[in-house]
């Protein structure tokens, strides 16, 4: 562990301030709570919100998993995992089932989460209405009145232009029947995992200085229309490594003649399946 810094880098007063914001966020599911985000030794936009949330909830007996794009070995995931290994000395793991705290960017693990786990999302832009209304003063008012018509219109415009809703990721959801929420840029493939998830889900946006949460077993509904119900994407191929047909697949270009293959984005899920297959 690195000397000269407090456990998990942040001082205890700051952690307490963040935990207060987290409590408020859990009490009002989907509501964005402003908090006194700190400058971290990693750049804004690189996960500082998630890092601050993790730092304020992590304890010595936790086991931490960090993923980026579903993978444990992408450079920024490695960097964040190392940061916590250096500043807390807690155990780290790549196995979803072994982790008590999972910090993620852009994915929810394929393995079903449990009620003794917390998943922390890194959020770049917390405001779901931001592309429709750039002003914070306006969007806060719209949330206060639950005035979400513009989002429905935007989805309808997709239907009118393309025949279906063309939003692929960061697909807007309504939490607990009240607040419109941006599920951080996870692919819409992961949206169903949010609904009545047993794990506590915490969202941290460092640069934008907002925290929000979805408590365990809370309704999270992806916006849709009766005649255009929400649908997740599917692939024609299976994972080339583990053969999975029900996980989110990354496309990998293998040569410059149009050759490509698809592999699981969740590296732990994929290697777990391959290990099982080898054992059988």
Catalytic machinery residues: 30, 239, 242, 264, 270
Q: Among 184, 183, 194, 181, which residue's Cα sits nearest to residue 143? A: 181
Q: How far is CA 245 from CA 6, 234, 248, 274, in A?
A: 45, 9, 9, 14
Closest to another protein by CB, 62 vs 208, is: 208
Closest to another protein by CB, 73 vs 115, is: 73
In angstroms, the CA 201 to CA 262 distance is: 29
Angle at 115 between CA 112 and CA 118, to 5 degrees: 85
**Number of C-beta neighbours around residue 141 at 10 A:** 12
Contact 62, 80 (CB under 8 A): no
Contact 76, 105 (CB under 8 A): yes
Interface with another protein (CB under 8 A):
5, 9, 11, 34-41, 43-46, 48, 68-70, 73-79, 82, 105-107, 124-125, 131, 134-137, 157-158, 161-164, 166-170, 185-189, 207, 209-210, 233, 235, 240-241, 248-252, 254, 261, 263, 265, 267
Q: Report in angstroms how near the CB of residue 206 gets to another protein at its nearest.
A: 9
Q: Report in angstroms how near the CB of residue 267 gets to another protein at its nearest.
A: 7
The contacts of residue 22 (CB under 8 Å, 6+ apart) are 53, 56, 57, 202, 211, 213
Q: Among 110, 114, 94, 69, which residue's Cα sits nearest to residue 242? A: 110
Closest to another protein by CB, 254 vs 276, is: 254
Q: How far is CA 38 from CA 5, 15, 53, 104, 272, in A?
A: 15, 11, 11, 19, 37
Closest to another protein by CB, 4 vs 61, is: 4
Question: Residue 45: is it exposed, middle or buried by C-beta count within 10 angstroms (0-12/13-18/19+)?
Answer: middle
Q: Report in angstroms how near the CB of residue 115 gets to another protein at its nearest.
A: 26
Q: Report in angstroms how near the CB of residue 195 gets to another protein at its nearest.
A: 19
In angstroms, the CA 210 to CA 112 distance is: 27
Q: Report in angstroms how near the CB of residue 205 gets to another protein at its nearest.
A: 10
Q: Report in angstroms how near the CB of residue 230 gets to another protein at its nearest.
A: 14
């Amino acid at each position: 562990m690195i000397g000269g810094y407090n456990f998990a880098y942040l001082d205890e007063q700051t952690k307490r301030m963040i935990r207060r914001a987290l409590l408020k966020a859990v009490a009002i599911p989907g509501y964005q709570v402003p908090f006194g985000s700190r400058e971290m030794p990693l750049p804004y936009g690189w996960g500082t919100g998630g890092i601050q949330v993790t730092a304020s909830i992590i304890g010595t007996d936790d086991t931490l998993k960090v993923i980026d794009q579903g993978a444990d070995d992408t450079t920024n995931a490695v960097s964040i995992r190392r940061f916590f290994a250096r500043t807390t000395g807690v155990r780290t793991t790549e196995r979803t089932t072994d982790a008590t705290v999972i910090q993620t960017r852009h994915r929810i693990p394929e393995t079903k989460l449990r009620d003794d786990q917390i998943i922390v999302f890194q959020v770049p832009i917390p405001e779901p209405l931001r592309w429709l209304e750039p002003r914070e003063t306006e969007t806060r008012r719209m949330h206060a009145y639950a005035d979400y018509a513009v989002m429905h219109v935007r989805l309808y415009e997709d239907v009118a232009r393309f025949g279906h809703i063309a939003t692929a990721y960061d697909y807007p959801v309504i939490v607990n029947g009240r607040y419109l929420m941006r599920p951080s840029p996870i692919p819409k493939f992961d949206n169903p995992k949010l609904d009545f998830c047993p794990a506590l889900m915490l969202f941290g946006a460092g640069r934008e200085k907002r925290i929000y949460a979805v408590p365990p077993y809370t309704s999270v509904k992806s916006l849709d229309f009766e005649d255009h119900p929400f649908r997740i994407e599917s692939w024609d191929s299976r994972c080339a490594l583990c053969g999975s047909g029900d996980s989110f697949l990354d496309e990998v270009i293998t040569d410059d003649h149009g050759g490509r293959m698809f592999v699981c984005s969740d590296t732990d899920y994929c290697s777990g399946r391959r290990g099982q297959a080898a054992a059988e």
